[in-house]
């Protein structure tokens, strides 16, 4: 009888490379370019763009009612938009491909 091993197609552990795979010395990212990750990044960016003005607008509204002013909600909305745009640009716009 022949010695039948269930893992005939896999090479032995000693023949697998142990070091970096790329010529530049970096291990390639197995998730790079995956469609689900790109879709996730899009939804995260949309969440940042919505939640920034909502949160800062709510803070401005609370301060407006507490201080009896009428301009802090507008400042909160504009500040939230600016902060969320900056965050999306910094997080997703500066990545090198």
Q: The pTM is what? A: 0.59
Query: Strands (DSSP E) along the chain, which ranges?
Result: none
Per-residue model confidence (pLDDT) at position 35: 72
Per-residue model confidence (pLDDT) at position 32: 64
Tokens of 44: 């995260």
In a structure prediction context, what are the per-residue pLDDT tens digits for the chain, which is 97 residues long? 555 555 556 555 555 555 555 566 666 655 566 777 778 888 999 999 999 999 999 999 999 999 999 899 999 999 999 999 999 999 888 766 5
């Amino acid at each position: 009888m022949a010695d039948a091993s269930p893992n005939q197609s896999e090479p032995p552990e000693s023949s697998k490379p142990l070091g970096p795979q790329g010529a530049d010395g970096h291990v390639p990212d197995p998730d790079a370019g995956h469609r689900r990750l790109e879709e996730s990044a899009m939804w995260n960016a949309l969440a940042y763009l919505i939640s920034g003005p909502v949160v800062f607008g709510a803070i401005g509204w609370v301060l407006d009612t507490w201080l009896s002013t009428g301009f802090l909600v507008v400042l909160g909305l504009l500040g939230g938009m600016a902060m969320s745009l900056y965050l999306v640009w910094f997080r997703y716009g500066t990545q090198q491909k």
